[in-house]
Amino acid sequence: MALHSGNRLSPVSRDGLPEMLQCSNSRNMEPVPDPVTAFAALAHPQRLGVVRLLMRHYPRRVAAGEIGAVLGLKPSTLSGYLAQLMDAGLITQERRATSLLYAASVDGAAALNAAWIGTVCGGRGWPETGAPGRRVRNVLFVGQGNAGPSLVAEAVLRSAAGEAVESFSAGLSGAGEPDPALVEFLARQGHDIGSLWCKPLSVWTEAGAPRMDIVITLGDRAASRAPDWPGCPHRASWRLLPDMPLEALHDDLGQRIGALARLDLALTPPERVQAVLDSMAEPPGSV
C-alpha cells in the first residue's frame, strides 16, 4: 500500500481505516491522519499544548505570534511544531495577506478518534458525556474575573432557559465583587440577581460540584487561559468586542444565548449542539 507524502494514509491503509473516514478542511479533501503519525505529533507536551489552545479557540483562527505568546514558544520552535501538526492532519493553515493563521482540524480529530476508538479499540473507550434524555443541563460561562460578561451571561441564560437549564458562571482570576451598576442594570432588565456573585473557577471543579454539560469561555483571554475540563462537556469560545457598553453586551449575549436556549438539549444530537455553539463564536453581525 502506498503512502501519501507527509505520512498520511491512502483511503485504504495498513491500519484498516475505511474510505468513509476521509476528512476535509475549508479548501480541499484531506486523507485520514495516520494514527501513528498523529500520536507521535501529540506525544510532546508543547505540541499538545498548541492543539489544546487551537481547540479552545475553535472555530477562530489564531495567528502564529499569538500562539507563541500564550504558550511561551520561540518562533523557530513553534514553526517546527506547526509544520509537524499540519503533516499529521491535526491543524490547518490559512494565509491572510502577510499573516499565517492556524485552526484546529476538527475533522482530523474526529477521524483520529474513529481510527483509535473505532478501528483499534473496537468501539470501546468512548467517554461518558452525561446521561441522555430529560434532565436539567448545566451550563457554565467562564470569564476573566466573573464580574462582568460572565455574570451577564449567567443571568440571561437563567431567564431564557427557565427550568430546563441550570446556569453558572466563574472567573479565572480571584473572585471580587460584581459591579453595582451591572447588577442594577440586570435587575432593570427583569433578570433574577439574587444568586449572582463572583466565583473563582475552583468552586465548580472541586469534589461534589455539579457536572457541567456545556462550558463557554467569554473573550480571547479566557479561552487561552481556561484549563481542561473533566467529564467531556461541550466546549465553546465566544469572542467579545472590546469595551462594549453594558447595553450592547447584554444584546450581544442575549442573541447568542437565545439561540442556545431554543435548543431542546434532551433531544438535540450532540454534534448539532456543538455546531450551534461554534456558530456563535463571533459577535452577531461581525465579519
pLDDT digits 0-9 by tens, 136-150: 899 999 999 888 999
Residues sharing a CB contact under 8 Å with residue 254, sequence separation 6 or more, in sequence order: 156, 160
Model pTM score: 0.80
Look at residues 114, 163, 107 and name the one whose alpha carbon lies nearest to residue 137.
Answer: 163
Distance from CA of residue 90 to its chain's centroid? 15
Lowest mean pLDDT among 44-53, 65-74, 175-184, 258-267: 175-184
10: left (phi over 0), alpha (psi -120 to 50) or beta: beta
Residue 231 pLDDT = 81
Give 179's pLDDT tier (boundaries 50, 70, 90). confident
Query: Of 133 and 46, which is predicted with more confidence?
Result: 46
Mean pLDDT, residues 51-75 taken together: 96
Lowest mean pLDDT among 20-29, 130-139, 144-153, 155-164: 20-29
What's phi and psi for 25, nearest 5 deg?
Answer: -120, -165
Q: Enumerate helices (H) and strands (E) in the chain, giving the number of each.
A: 10, 9
Residue 7 pLDDT = 37
Element (H, E) at 278: helix 270-279
Direct distance between the N- and C-terminal alpha carbons of the chain, in angstroms, rounded to an integer: 44
126 has a pLDDT exceeding 80: no
The number of residues in the chain equals 287
Type of residue at 166: E
Residue 27 pLDDT = 37
Residue 162 pLDDT = 83
Give 12's pLDDT tier (boundaries 50, 70, 90). very low
Mean pLDDT, residues 186-192 taken together: 95
Query: Of 39 and 1, which is predicted with more confidence?
Result: 39
Architecture category of domain 8-120 in CATH: Orthogonal Bundle (1.10)
Residue 1 pLDDT = 33
Mean pLDDT, residues 58-73 taken together: 96
Q: Where in the chain is the domain with CATH 3.40.50.2300?
A: 137-279
Mean pLDDT, residues 236-251 taken together: 95
Give 277's pLDDT tier (boundaries 50, 70, 90). very high
CA distance 39 to 42: 5
CA distance 23 to 166: 36
- With b for 16 or more beta-carbon neighbours within 10 A and e for fewer, the 117-130 pattern comes to ebbeeeeeeeeeeb
Lowest mean pLDDT among 114-128, 183-197, 229-243, 252-266: 114-128
Give 32's pLDDT tier (boundaries 50, 70, 90). low
User: DSSP code of 7?
Assistant: G
The percent of residues above 90 in pLDDT, for the chain, comes to: 63
Residue 173 pLDDT = 84
Are 66 and 54 in contact by the 8 Å Cβ rule? The answer is no
- How far CA 144 is from CA of 31, 91, 140, 166, 218, in Å, comes to 39, 27, 13, 21, 8
Task: Give the CATH superfamily of 137-279.
Answer: Response regulator (3.40.50.2300)
User: DSSP code of 3?
Assistant: B
29 has a pLDDT exceeding 70: no
Look at residues 141, 119, 118, 138 and name the one whose alpha carbon lies nearest to residue 129.
Answer: 138
The percent of residues above 70 in pLDDT, for the chain, comes to: 85
131 has a pLDDT exceeding 70: no
Element (H, E) at 254: helix 246-261
Residue 132 pLDDT = 63
Q: Where in the chain is the domain with CATH 1.10.10.10?
A: 8-120
Mean pLDDT, residues 253-277 taken together: 93
User: In the numeric block, which cell numbers belong to residue 14?
Assistant: 495498513
